[in-house]
Amino acid sequence: MNQSSAEAMARLSARMPAATVRVISNASRRRTMNSARTSCARSPASAATRWDSVGTCAPVGVLRDMGVRDGKRPGCRRPHRASHHGMGPRGAASARDTRFRLCHKRSTARRSRWRAPPSCATQPSRMDRQPEPVPARARRTPILRSDMVGRTIRRLLAAPTDARVAICMILFVAGVRLVQEAALFGYEVRAGELLGFMPDFVGFYTVMFLSVWAALRFGLPGEGDRVTNLAAVGLLLGLLPPLLESLVRNVPEAPYDYFWAWEWLFHSPERQPVSETITLWFAVLGPGLVSLWHTRRPGRAAATSAFTWCLLVLPIVVFPGLLAEHVDNDTVRFANTLASYAWCILLYVALRGRRLWPSFARVNHALPFGALALIAASWVGQSLFDMAWRALLMTWTWTVLIIHNDHYDAEEDRTQGRPEGATGDDVAWTMLLLLNLLLMVFHRAPLVGLAAAMMLLAGFLYQHPAMRLKRHFCLSYKVEGVWATCAVAAGLALNESFAPDRPLFFACLLAFGGGALLSMPKDWKDIDADRAAGIPTLYVRLSRDDEGALRLHRRLSIAVAAAMALSLGIALAIGAHPVGLALATAAAAGAVAALLVEKRPRVAVESYFWLLSAFLLALAVAIGHS
């Protein structure tokens, strides 16, 4: 107890028992109260002092004995006439008057809800203090005891997510890793080699990011896309292997390469240094540890790590092992990179299925362009592998354009009551996957990559709000013809030149006209929406009512049947296989019949594109076996 508290107790003990408290003037009482407040505020908190209503500062225990509770005294009644404390009649009357005045002031203070000043509030002693409640998230960190790690994870989960940040992290880690390996092994990186190396590095780290992203979404239920920042920061572990190797030895004993054999533990002395194996296992166990911190469920954490291992072992071990057994040495690395990008696309579609489903439901609009590339590649005698990847490249390019178109038409689709489609993040991710694929294709077959790039640029001009060629009459159909021409050119192109003995100009001209004509019936299902949006399609421009649109549609169906018959005649002239021609004829008849289903335009158009794709694929098979 400090000196001021002792003095206050002595002053109270001297005054209260004798009841000689005298009533002072208001001004004097105000000065006394102010001095008492000041002395109480300066007293240490451990003394647990409180300002009394009589202008003194005393310990809480003494005031409690006097009946003080939270700065107030209990109510009192006017005393009896009997003497108190052995005083005489005069002393008793004086004491009664004094006590009555004090009780009157106390009751007035109670009615006004008087409280002690905040500076003189009761401060509990150190032993009486209760521990502060621990947040729920802090109680769930038995494994990651470090507050810094827990705070970092919470901040990353609470921070806003953006696909562009994750993409920049992938490109940054891939570029730094390329520089690290060039410095560690003494590589000479030329401009042409950079086109081959950089897509490989970007593809590998895209696989790593999407795999860890999928595992974190599984291990942290309810977080959704908020785990994007965690997966992006985890990519920085990819910079550790060269640093560790440079600290241990000047040059690693083995190069950094894919596992061309079945190495299920991610360790091969001939293919990977130990540092790379350690980093891969960090990537496998990391999502499980984060899941254990978040959910406190060891079973889910173990399942998360096992799921991560399955997602990584397929593109790093299984795909390279299969390709090494069935593909020649010249194309094995290119094929492995293609397989990695295919795995990335499948992962991304699986993660974003709900948003991307409206776009992928119209993949039948992209299949004809892949089939055109397949027809041209089979016509010039390309190998089965070259035919396949050219067709897949054209199909994926046009699928990306569908995703972008759905994003740019989101406002129009919302007014028509259609489900929400692709977002800006989907546009960014699909552009990353496509552009890196085009860089890799440029390194192997520049003309094919150029054809795919022209298709992408034409689609950008067709649908971007800044240009919007689809709002200009007949330009949209010309863009459809350009897309078909690019697909045929990609199939006709060899690695560095076109086939010299094929009529390239005639084939491209035929593709341009056929692509424009065969795409016209697609606008039949959206006549009302196009008219409301001001898009001048052929049906909107040349018809005024439903009857006029129906007559125009019948004429277009006849023109489509004539174009398919011409294609069958050309295939027969160049010696196509009869079985393939029969299949193509059946598909053409079904496509024309589908267009004539007049009561359900949307079903008719979608069925038409499926059958058109089957018609073109049958032509490719027939021409390939000629």
Mean pLDDT of 540-563: 90
494 and 532 in a common domain: no
Enter the tokens of residue 149: 């790690």
Distance linking the first and last C-alpha atoms of the chain: 108
Mean pLDDT of 318-327: 78
Residue 228 covered by a domain: yes
Q: What is the DSSP string of 526-585?
A: GHHHHHHHT---HHHHH-SSHHHHHHHHHHHHHHHHHHHHHHHHHHHHTT--HHHHHHHH
Q: How many CB atoms lie within 10 A of CB 531?
A: 16
Q: Say how far apart CA 361 and CA 352 lie, in whole Å.
A: 13
CB 337 within 8 A of CB 312: no
Residue 126 covered by a domain: no
Mean pLDDT of 120-144: 47
3-state secondary structure of 69: strand
- For residue 182, is pLDDT > 50? yes
Continuous H helices in 226-313: 228-234, 240-248, 274-295, 298-313
331 and 223 in a common domain: yes
463 and 415 in a common domain: yes
Least confident piece of the model among 117-131, 139-153, 367-381, 498-512: 117-131
Q: Which residues contact 416 (CB under 8 A, 6 or more apart)?
A: 529
In this predicted structure, what is the pLDDT of residue 5?
Answer: 54
Residue 144 covered by a domain: no
**Highest-scoring range by mean pLDDT, 45-59, 138-152, 273-287:** 273-287
CB 359 within 8 A of CB 402: yes
Q: Say how far apart CA 290 and CA 308 lie, in whole Å.
A: 13
How confident is residue 415, by pLDDT bands cut at 50, 70 and 90? confident
CB 238 within 8 A of CB 279: yes
Q: How many CB atoms lie within 10 A of CB 503?
A: 11
Residue 136 covered by a domain: no
CB 42 within 8 A of CB 34: no
Go through the chain and tell me how many residues it has.
Answer: 626
Mean pLDDT of 581-599: 91
- Domain hosting 393: range is 358-502
Q: What's the pTM value of the predicted model, to 2 decimals? A: 0.73
498 and 524 in a common domain: no
- For residue 167, is pLDDT > 60? yes
How confident is residue 11, by pLDDT bands cut at 50, 70 and 90? low
Q: Say how far apart CA 397 and CA 368 lie, in whole Å.
A: 12
492 and 587 in a common domain: no
In this predicted structure, what is the pLDDT of residue 291?
Answer: 93
64 and 206 in a common domain: no
Give 256 or 300, the one with higher predicted confidence.
Answer: 300
Q: Which residues contact 593 (CB under 8 A, 6 or more apart)?
A: none
Q: Say how far apart CA 240 and CA 184 lie, in whole Å.
A: 13
Residue 616 covered by a domain: yes
592 and 480 in a common domain: no
Q: Please, is 137 exposed, middle or buried when counting C-beta atoms within 10 Å of its C-beta (0-12, 13-18, 19+)?
A: middle
- For residue 351, is pLDDT > 80? yes
Mean pLDDT of 284-288: 94
Summarised one tens digit per residue, pLDDT across range 417-435 is 777 788 889 999 999 999 9
Cα–Cα distance list, 424 to 162, 167, 455 (Å): 9, 13, 21
Domain end (from 301, 323, 351): 351
Mean pLDDT of 92-118: 47
Q: Please, is 186 exposed, middle or buried when counting C-beta atoms within 10 Å of its C-beta (0-12, 13-18, 19+)?
A: exposed
Mean pLDDT of 373-388: 91
Residue at token pair 């990335």 = 344
Number of domains in the chain: 4
Largest CA distance in the chain: 141
388 Rama class: left (phi>0) / alpha (psi -120 to 50) / beta: alpha
Q: Say how far apart CA 62 and CA 47 lie, in whole Å.
A: 12
- For residue 84, is pLDDT > 50? no
In this predicted structure, what is the pLDDT of residue 625?
Answer: 78
In this predicted structure, what is the pLDDT of residue 570?
Answer: 92
Q: Say how far apart CA 46 and CA 16 lie, in whole Å.
A: 25
Residue at token pair 């827990």 = 150
- For residue 91, is pLDDT > 70? no
472 and 564 in a common domain: no
Domain end (from 298, 316, 351): 351
312 and 167 in a common domain: yes
Mean pLDDT of 198-205: 90
In this predicted structure, what is the pLDDT of residue 270?
Answer: 76
195 and 98 in a common domain: no
Summarised one tens digit per residue, pLDDT across range 21-46 is 443 444 445 555 555 444 444 444 44
In this predicted structure, what is the pLDDT of residue 387?
Answer: 92
CATH number, residue 458:
1.10.357.140
Residue 137 covered by a domain: no
495 and 409 in a common domain: yes
**Is the Cα torsion angle 277, 282, 177, 319 positive or negative in sign?**
positive
Domain end (from 326, 351, 376): 351
In this predicted structure, what is the pLDDT of residue 494?
Answer: 84
Give 496 or 124, the one with higher predicted confidence.
Answer: 496
326 and 287 in a common domain: yes
- For residue 189, is pLDDT > 90? no
Residue 343 covered by a domain: yes
- For residue 302, is pLDDT > 90? yes
Residue closest to 532 by CA, chosen among 358, 409, 401, 407: 409
